Amino acid sequence: MISVRKASDRGHANYGWLDTYYTFSFNDYYDPRHMGFRDLRVINEDFIDPAKGFPMHGHSDMEIITYVISGDLSHKDSMGNGTTIKPHEIQRMSAGTGVLHSEFSSPTQKTHLLQIWIFPEKRGVEPSYEQILFPPSIKEGCLKLVASRDGSEGSVSVNQDVKLYASILKTGEEVEHKLSIGRHAWIQIVHGTIDVNGMEVNRSDGIAISEETLLKIKAKDDCEFLLFDLR
């Protein structure tokens, strides 16, 4: 069973400095039909004006992944981290017992990113932070593992039974992904158009997948997407 979450159907808010689209209910946007998918709780597509962002604020018991598409994002937190997240880097922050953090856009250009929240497998863990670069070359023509429970294949480690893959395909290229019995998947399109088991999906669309064992993904044009393999 494959269900498409069209980009045009998402929640939307424009705060002037922040133009954001909500795949699932978040903040002032509430839709009981879209509260998340499996252990995925948030996928927000944010466009942040230069030198603007989110002042220091707190989170707890959530796995937070940031995927910068363009621009860059300056991060500071109560664990002592101070970094800049650039395109093709994966930032993972386990909020655990509680963490304060801030993020601000590039001082000179707008930043475009996906903010992803995943429910943790265990609550009350010690907060932690990880950031790894995955150059485009290692994501081209394949599904590259970028986040997983055990940090395998050089991926960031997350406190949940999930595998997150990133892929960049050229027009006509194909990849396949096998889902074990009882597993589910979510595909989030970054840009371009793909065909998933005969269903066409476009930029910023999301796809919820259940009761399927093999995903055949073909690029209709040059594209980039994320694939979550979920329990």
Q: Which residues contact 31 (CB under 8 A, 6 or more apart)?
A: 11, 25
Structure confidence at residue 5 (pLDDT): 98
Return the bridge partners of 131, or none: 91
Per residue of the chain (231 residues), what is the pLDDT tens digit?
999 999 999 999 999 999 999 999 999 999 999 999 999 999 999 999 999 999 999 999 999 999 999 999 999 999 999 999 999 999 999 999 999 999 999 999 999 999 999 999 999 999 999 999 999 999 999 999 999 999 999 999 999 999 999 999 999 999 999 999 999 999 999 999 999 999 999 999 999 999 999 999 999 999 999 999 999
Cβ–Cβ under 8 Å, residues 72 and 112: no
Sorted by where each begins, the domain ranges of the chain are 2-230
How far is Cα 147 from Cα 136, in angstroms, rounded to an integer? 16
- Residue 190, sorted as left (phi over 0), alpha (psi -120 to 50) or beta, turns out to be alpha
Note the residue count of the chain: 231
Q: What is the pLDDT of residues 101-151, one digit of tens each?
A: 999 999 999 999 999 999 999 999 999 999 999 999 999 999 999 999 999
Question: What per-residue confidence (pLDDT) applies to 59?
Answer: 95
Q: Do 1 and 210 touch, CB atoms closer than 8 A?
A: yes
Q: Which amino acid is at 178?
A: K
Grouping H, G, I as helix, E, B as strand and the rest as coil, residue 75 is strand
CA 80, CA 222: separation in Å to the nearest integer? 39
Find the Cα–Cα–Cα–Cα dihedral 160, 93, 34, 174, rounded to 10°: -70
Cα distance between residue 90 and residue 155, in whole Å: 9
CA–CA dist 130, 128 (Å, integer) = 7
Q: Given this model, what pLDDT does residue 205 score?
A: 98
**The predicted structure's pLDDT at residue 142:** 98
Three-class secondary structure of residue 219 per DSSP: strand
Beta carbons of 206 and 8 less than 8 angstroms apart = no
| Rg of the chain taking only CA atoms, in angstroms | 17
Q: Report how far Cα 63 is from the mean position of its chain's Cα atoms.
A: 11
Residue 193: the pLDDT is 98
CATH architecture of 2-230: Sandwich (2.60)
pLDDT of residue 33: 95
Query: Residue 82, class by beta-carbon neighbours within 10 Å (0-12 exposed, 13-18 middle, 19+ buried)?
Result: exposed
